[in-house]
Chain A
Amino acid sequence: MKRFRRHGHELNRERIKQDLFQFNKTVEHGFPHQPSALAYCSSLQLMAIGSRSGAFKIYGAPEVEIMGLHEENAAVTQIHFLPEPGQLVTLLDDNSLHLWKVRKSPDGLSVLKEESHFDLRGQPGAPPSVTTITVVLPHSSGDVLFLGTEGGCVFVVEHPSLREQEERTITQEAVLQKVPDDYQSKRSLGSVEALEENPRNPHQILIGYSRGLIILWDLQISEATHQFLGDLQLESVTWQRDGRQIISSHSDGSYCQWPVSNNDRSPQPLENKVPYGPFPCKAIPKILWLTTKQRTPFIIFKGGMPRASYGDRHCISVLHGSKQIAFDFTSRVIDFFVVDEGESKSDSDEPSALLVLAEEELVAIDLKTPSWPVIQSPYLIPLHCSAITCSHHVSNIPVKLWERIIAAGNKQTSHYSTKPWPIDGGYSTASEPPQRDLLLTGHEDGTVRFWDASGVCLKPLYKLGTVGVFVTDADHNDNLNQSGEDEWPPLRKVGSFDPYSDDPRLGIQKIHLCKYSSHLTVAGTAGQVLVLELNDEAADQEVACTLVDILQDQDTFKWKGHERLNPREEPVHFPAGFQPFVLVQCQPPAVVTSLALHSEWKLVTFGTSHGFGLYDYQQKRTVVVRCTLHPSDQLALEGPLSRVKSIKKSLRHSFRRIRGTRASGRKRAIPGNNAAKVQEANARMDREALNEMELAPVQRRIEARSAEDSFTGFVRSLYFADSFVRDGSYHGPSLWAGTNGGTIFAYAITIPSVERRMEEPVTATQVKEIQLMHRAPVVGIFILDGRGILLPEPLEAAHDLSKSPDMHGNHMLLVISEEQFKIFTLPKVSTKNKLKLTAIDGSRVRKVSVASFSSNRVEDYSENGLLVLTNLGDIQVISVPTLRSQVRYECIRKEDVSGIASCVFTKSGQGFYLISPSEFERFSVSSKWVVEPRCIIDIDEGVGTRASQQKAVQDGAVVKANSQESEDSHQMLSGMTKSEDDVRKTAEIMEHALLNDERVLLEIQSTLESDSALTDRLSFGHLDRNSKNSTGIQTPKQRMINGD
């Protein structure tokens, strides 16, 4: 009977767990890693970006994004929207074509579904190049696709059945019939480089061959009607809107205009221009000619720069009458398209915006405003403009602070165009976020970016730079980049991606924001700790600098690492926003490894690998400094931790770095900048090291940790709490510090009363020292009140935002080491409860945070729990204070060291981690708070369903996880291992396509070395311009927003 009752209790508990916890990976924030294809659909106002991982996403209005993932692990090289709305075709680099449709999922949301795929097969025995697809042209009739190949043939494939129509294949022989013999004999035609449909006559298509010949093919008579006998290597061909002229671009950086008329079937070029001549220029892989009502066309082309002096630039040039600007991107340009306002019937294109997809960012340029400013993107922001070094999440920001941050951010974006984002298809049905969440990312260049992380779109709010506080070399370089107005070519830098940090010491390592007081503290690589406050006005400020000797005059140690940064002596002008007023400089200037701020007490504490300090930023005085170094720990003083970093980690890191910056790293080989070369060399060395490592058998030493181990003094966690540290009757401010060696120090702090706060000093005395027997690094310290609830944040209770804690003694100290969770009683420290992790399953705690989980069924029911990420990439929820594991989910691959290191949790049970240098994956462990895209793209079913049977969509890219609830719960009951499968099934997301195994990693490496050939092909003419057709068959131009 008793057992039965207990069983019932467990069942009940399981049900509560289902209401509380659910694991979903919901959306990727940031910019897709390694984008490889771009397409635009003007009728639906949608854009698609494909990546090398085989994934692609459709983007529309902000928060509208739909993901498609190919089963094949091959790069998406081309995407084309088909004339039928909501359909697209993708070409992968394994030469397969895939047809996708936007469908409705059972819960009414739009999802992408692969309908069919097609492999072009040539004659048996023919070399594979014969059928290697170079160009895809979906015909405006919607019936066929034309596929140009490397072999020079154009194949015709039926749509939507994707069946080859062999009898319609346009062979070179057929083309050559009408070509004059003397032209013919000189050369073979080469591969098909361009296929373009006449915008005025759907029966005519242009076929351009790489050796220079362009023909106009009539589909009705299956015959070439016009020949344009070019003798330059052809890169692309485009029609003018009226169908009376074509423009071809060539590998020598020139472009030609050719007349198309029935009088001259083999005309000479009207004009041949080399825009950046006369010296040899690079190829123009793509050119667009857009007409305006004012008759002055826009000529937009990629590349074509003078080979010798600007050959390494990634440029898109826009020519409009006498105005010419070469937009200079910091990473390789993959493709571009133009959004136009021209009506389908009108004679002019009326371009309004130019969207350029570069390797590391998407840039939109407003062509309507005379100065051609950049339009700020609402999504696809390159998070990694400078490498992300840390992140910090603050939940539930007060409206006041939110507005002030936005106001400060708006002052920074005044140079952006006022035009709205030009892509606005579809609409989001996601509910308004329940609260305002802020994600702060620290970057290598010393900036902190503030992001609105409340919803599906990670919106940039504000950017804080800390460089101004210090004297750096960068100051002198600033004016070098500014080129004069009359400079030729007329380069203009656009985009924000800048992988080069002027000084790595500026890197931000720790961030702590108090949302109530608007006090912010950031700490960096060179031991600098800044305290900032929000000021709505720009101001000149002198930053008080205090040097803190962490070693406390122990001269046996010698710091061999970097120097500290030199602060500016004179007052510095800071723009509106967070302005520093205190600088604490740790000496030796080692990386700050932990940081905490208590805005009520006006104290900041910081730890390095040598010890920690407590600083009173009201009186600008150091309160206490404690050196935690073990006397025998020499390594800790040798500076940067390179010597002990695991080789695996450093390898991983360097791969990331190479991948993150490889395009620019190779192309921007400016004399004197050896960074790229050094990086390459390092990568090579790492690779060699990897080989060596694999030759020697991998073995691991088994040894107990001891006090003499290196880096035991490394301060891992710092915590302020108002608790009972001295005795059980009086509580007061305390500081807790945990080290890598499993030692916890507790200090009682005496803070003078408010009236005497400025006169009397703040003092701190050590009251406790706990040495954990297992000596594992202390990754978290928390204090729970008498009811087992975590003490509130500073000022939280004062602002009536949380229940005031139970201050009646019996507080508990929760210590989380990498190996176990332990609750001690206070003030007398003795073990009360513990949970071992490593001893049981070999996993170690990497990140821990306290989160509140609300039930999605019962109102007002919530539980607090510890959200834990282990080194195996598992997410666990541990109950407090009972310390029982509640749920466990596989989240990050355990090989993904950087992903695990970048993980940050929110207070509502969500989290973010980097899946690539530029993308955060968002996940949720809470079943109540799930932020995921819920968007609808309305497609005119009358047209869209012509050939499609409405099958029930089972597993789209974005399935609202709640639809699987019953399944989940079933699995939940049958144990946690099952739920892992469940996770795998639902989470069909970008990350899965990324580097799934070592083999792929190697492949990527090999492509790093030789991908120039590929890239040229990738970026070649696959702009979808079907919508510009005006042939009547074309579906009427429509923008479907908000319901219909």
Chain B
Amino acid sequence: MSRSYNKSGTLRCLDRVAVEVKSKFGAEFRRFSLSRYKPGKFAEFYSLIIHTHNISNMDILIGYADVHGDLLPINNDDNFCKAISMANPLLRIFVQRKEEVDYNLFGTDSLTRKKKPLGGLRNDTLRKRVQLSISIPQDFRPVSSIIDVDILPETHRRVRLYKHGCEKPLGFYIRDGTSVRVTAHGLEKVPGIFISRLVPGGLAESTGLLAVNDEVLEVNGIEVMGKTLDQVTDMMIANSHNLIITVKPVNQRNNVNRSSRMSGSSGHSNDSTASHHSLPSAHMVQNYNPEDESDEEADIIIEGCIEPQSIPFKSPSSSFTSSRNNLSQRRQKELPLNGSVRKTNGSILKTLSALKAEARHSLAFSRGGIEEDGTVITL
């Protein structure tokens, strides 16, 4: 039984815009399509799956086969978007009961899975290995990465902390201190900035890439030498959305050994201790499209219009409490002209208000590089 899902009139005719979805639950298949550019939210997708398979009474886990044939989970907006955007052209969805899920199947060991693509879906009970029970992460999102390993001295480490979209505090403190430098006149004591404290549960601590007494050398590429503690503090806060700090770790045993650089996509770690035996290195997390400089600076612009409030407005973000004025508001993420294609999820309201908007609004709307995505929810 297959059903066409797409109800958006503007999108129906455009084949390349639509993503063909083949969803399998047990032995049953369902087929439908989704908009490639406006995939919507994960929650909506989840209910759609439940609905199409008629399995409203059970907890399920949704997985998909990526281009390498790996079975990857879909459990949040980010990996849902990823799945949609990677589908070429067919998106194969595998639905499993939560109770029956074999977590071993999800993984990054692509080599084995290339040999046995999707083999795990046969519920092969023969493969019983002692596994660390790692719960399935609810939200795959990079929190940190080690970057520029190839250009930095081995004693230094450049760490990028992704604060964006994360509720966790950065969670560290810095202090003044003295460090020993090799200068033309021999060894010299110079003032330096050091990490003095990591807040338990904070981003800095959870990455395991920073430790107390690490010396801070640079903040977003700018040397901190000669700057006061207050200046460095202000610099870090100003860069807090995309903070890159270069440190000289106090513990030099975990340094990246360049000759045996591991390949792997994971530069992030959930280990909460600072003492790793070996740290994986990566230039950049592969499956994450890092926001470019200006996107991170995107300001939120609300253009209040003077029309009466015929449209109910519900703020999707809790951080927004400006709806006190009785004006209907249109929200958009303002993107720079250099055309980043990163999208944010909007609400249906946006599309509606955009359609409803008068000429002056559409004027504001047709800017190049600015793209809005409303979700199409019609069942």
Residues of A with Cβ closer than 8 Å to B?
A: 627, 630-631, 697-707, 726-728, 743, 748, 765-774, 776, 819-820, 827-831, 834, 836, 838-844, 871-872, 894
Q: Is A698 within 8 A of B237, CB to CB?
A: no
Q: Is B303 within 8 A of A767, CB to CB?
A: yes
Q: Is B238 within 8 A of A702, CB to CB?
A: no
Which of A631, A699, A769, A894 contacts B174 (CB under 8 A)? Answer: A699
Q: Is A843 within 8 A of B231, CB to CB?
A: yes
Q: Is A765 within 8 A of B304, CB to CB?
A: yes
Q: Is A765 within 8 A of B306, CB to CB?
A: yes
Complex CA–CA separation, A726 to B329 (angstroms): 14
Q: Is B231 within 8 A of A842, CB to CB?
A: yes
Which of A703, A707, A769 contacts B171 (CB under 8 A)? Answer: A703
Q: Is A700 within 8 A of B240, CB to CB?
A: no
State the Cβ distance, A871 to closest chain B Cβ, in Å: 8
A sample of 11 more A-B contacts (CB under 8 A), given A705-B240, A839-B239, A840-B235, is A697-B176, A700-B174, A702-B240, A704-B170, A707-B321, A743-B322, A766-B325, A770-B299, A831-B299, A838-B234, A842-B227
Q: Which residue of A lies closest to B364 (CB)?
A: A828
Q: Is B175 within 8 A of A773, CB to CB?
A: no
Contacts of B327 in A (CB 8 A): 765-766
Q: Is A839 within 8 A of B196, CB to CB?
A: no
Q: Which residue of A lies closest to B197 (CB)?
A: A699
**Which residues of chain B from 24 to 73 have a CB within 8 Å of any chain A CB?**
none
Q: What is the size category of the interface that chain B forms with chain A?
A: 35 or more
Q: Is B238 within 8 A of A776, CB to CB?
A: yes
Complex CA–CA separation, A837 to B24 (angstroms): 54
Which of B233, B319, B364, B370 contacts A702 (CB under 8 A)? Answer: B233
State the Cβ distance, A189 to closest chain B Cβ, in Å: 56
Contacts of A769 in B (CB 8 A): 301-302, 304, 322, 329
Contacts of B241 in A (CB 8 A): 704, 773-774
With A698-B176, A700-B229 given, is the CB distance from A829 to B303 under 8 Å?
yes
Residues of B with Cβ closer than 8 Å to A?
A: 163, 169-176, 196-197, 204, 220, 222, 227-241, 294, 296-306, 319-322, 324-325, 327, 329, 334, 336-337, 360, 363-364, 367, 370
**Sample (10) of A-B pairs whose CB atoms are under 8 Å apart:** A702-B236, A704-B170, A705-B237, A706-B319, A774-B241, A838-B238, A839-B238, A841-B231, A842-B230, A842-B238
Contacts of B227 in A (CB 8 A): 841-842
Query: What are the nearest 8 A-B pairs in CB distance?
Result: A842-B231, A704-B240, A828-B364, A838-B238, A700-B233, A771-B300, A769-B302, A727-B360
Complex CA–CA separation, A713 to B304 (angstroms): 19
Contacts of A727 in B (CB 8 A): 360, 363
Q: Is B306 within 8 A of A767, CB to CB?
A: yes
Complex CA–CA separation, A631 to B322 (angstroms): 11
With A702-B236, A767-B306, A838-B234 given, is the CB distance from A707 to B319 under 8 Å?
yes
Complex CA–CA separation, A819 to B232 (angstroms): 13
Most buried by B among A630, A726, A771, A834: A771
Q: Is B299 within 8 A of A700, CB to CB?
A: no
Contacts of A844 in B (CB 8 A): 234
Q: Is A702 within 8 A of B303, CB to CB?
A: no
Which of A631, A772, A828, A834 contacts B363 (CB under 8 A)? Answer: A828
Complex CA–CA separation, A839 to B228 (angstroms): 14
Q: Is A774 within 8 A of B325, CB to CB?
A: no
Contacts of A820 in B (CB 8 A): 238
Q: Is A842 within 8 A of B234, CB to CB?
A: yes
Q: Which residue of A lies closest to B365 (CB)?
A: A828
Complex CA–CA separation, A871 to B324 (angstroms): 35
State the Cβ distance, B27 to closest chain A Cβ, in Å: 49
Q: Is B174 within 8 A of A766, CB to CB?
A: no
State the Cβ distance, A633 to closest chain B Cβ, in Å: 11
Most buried by B among A631, A767, A871: A767
Contacts of B321 in A (CB 8 A): 630-631, 707
State the Cβ distance, A749 to closest chain B Cβ, in Å: 13
Q: Which residue of B lies closest to A838 (CB)?
A: B238
Q: Is B231 within 8 A of A702, CB to CB?
A: no
Most buried by A among B171, B299, B303: B299
State the Cβ distance, B243 to closest chain A Cβ, in Å: 8
Q: Is A836 within 8 A of B238, CB to CB?
A: yes
Contacts of A831 in B (CB 8 A): 294, 297, 299, 334, 336
Which of A703, A840, A841 contacts B170 (CB under 8 A)? Answer: A703
With A698-B175, A704-B240 given, is the CB distance from A774 to B297 under 8 Å?
yes
Q: Which residue of B lies closest to A817 (CB)?
A: B238
Which of B170, B229, B337 contacts A698 (CB under 8 A)? Answer: B229
Complex CA–CA separation, A704 to B360 (angstroms): 36
With A765-B327, A767-B306, A828-B363 given, is the CB distance from A702 to B234 under 8 Å?
no
Q: Is A830 within 8 A of B334, CB to CB?
A: yes
With A767-B306, A773-B299 given, is the CB distance from A699 to B334 under 8 Å?
no
Contacts of A766 in B (CB 8 A): 304, 325, 327
With A829-B334, A838-B235 given, is the CB distance from A773 to B296 under 8 Å?
yes
Complex CA–CA separation, A699 to B177 (angstroms): 10
Q: Which residue of A lies closest to B169 (CB)?
A: A703
Complex CA–CA separation, A420 to B163 (angstroms): 69
Q: Which residue of B lies closest to A700 (CB)?
A: B233
Which of A701, A767, A841 contacts B304 (CB under 8 A)? Answer: A767
Complex CA–CA separation, A906 to B178 (angstroms): 42
Contacts of A748 in B (CB 8 A): 306
Complex CA–CA separation, A828 to B329 (angstroms): 14
Complex CA–CA separation, A773 to B295 (angstroms): 10
Complex CA–CA separation, A886 to B329 (angstroms): 39
State the Cβ distance, A604 to closest chain B Cβ, in Å: 22
Q: Is A839 within 8 A of B235, CB to CB?
A: yes
Which of A705, A770, A834, A836 contacts B300 (CB under 8 A)? Answer: A770
Q: Is B238 within 8 A of A830, CB to CB?
A: no
Q: Is A697 within 8 A of B196, CB to CB?
A: yes
Complex CA–CA separation, A890 to B239 (angstroms): 25
Complex CA–CA separation, A766 to B325 (angstroms): 8
Complex CA–CA separation, A748 to B334 (angstroms): 22
Complex CA–CA separation, A61 to B235 (angstroms): 50
Complex CA–CA separation, A394 to B346 (angstroms): 48
Q: Which residue of A lies closest to B166 (CB)?
A: A704
Contacts of A701 in B (CB 8 A): 172-173, 233
Complex CA–CA separation, A766 to B176 (angstroms): 46
Contacts of A699 in B (CB 8 A): 173-175, 196-197
Q: Is B237 within 8 A of A830, CB to CB?
A: no
Contacts of A698 in B (CB 8 A): 175-176, 229
State the Cβ distance, B355 to closest chain A Cβ, in Å: 18
Complex CA–CA separation, A180 to B366 (angstroms): 109
Q: Is B299 within 8 A of A819, CB to CB?
A: no
Which of A830, A834, A894 contacts B301 (CB under 8 A)? Answer: A830
State the Cβ distance, B359 to closest chain A Cβ, in Å: 8
Q: Is A704 within 8 A of B319, CB to CB?
A: no
Q: Is A771 within 8 A of B222, CB to CB?
A: no
Contacts of B239 in A (CB 8 A): 839
State the Cβ distance, B309 to closest chain A Cβ, in Å: 12
Q: Is B304 within 8 A of A768, CB to CB?
A: yes
Which of A700, A703, A771, A830 contacts B230 (CB under 8 A)? Answer: A700
State the Cβ distance, A211 to closest chain B Cβ, in Å: 56
Q: Which residue of A lies closest to B334 (CB)?
A: A830
Complex CA–CA separation, A828 to B357 (angstroms): 14
Complex CA–CA separation, A872 to B228 (angstroms): 10
Q: Is A704 within 8 A of B300, CB to CB?
A: no
Q: Which residue of A lies closest to B317 (CB)?
A: A707
Complex CA–CA separation, A1020 to B163 (angstroms): 67
Contacts of B300 in A (CB 8 A): 770-771, 773
Which of B231, B235, B303 contacts A768 (CB under 8 A)? Answer: B303
Q: Is A702 within 8 A of B173, CB to CB?
A: yes
Q: Is B334 within 8 A of A702, CB to CB?
A: no
Complex CA–CA separation, A245 to B334 (angstroms): 90
Contacts of B234 in A (CB 8 A): 819, 838, 842-844, 871
Complex CA–CA separation, A820 to B228 (angstroms): 19
Q: Which residue of A lies closest to B242 (CB)?
A: A839
Complex CA–CA separation, A58 to B367 (angstroms): 66
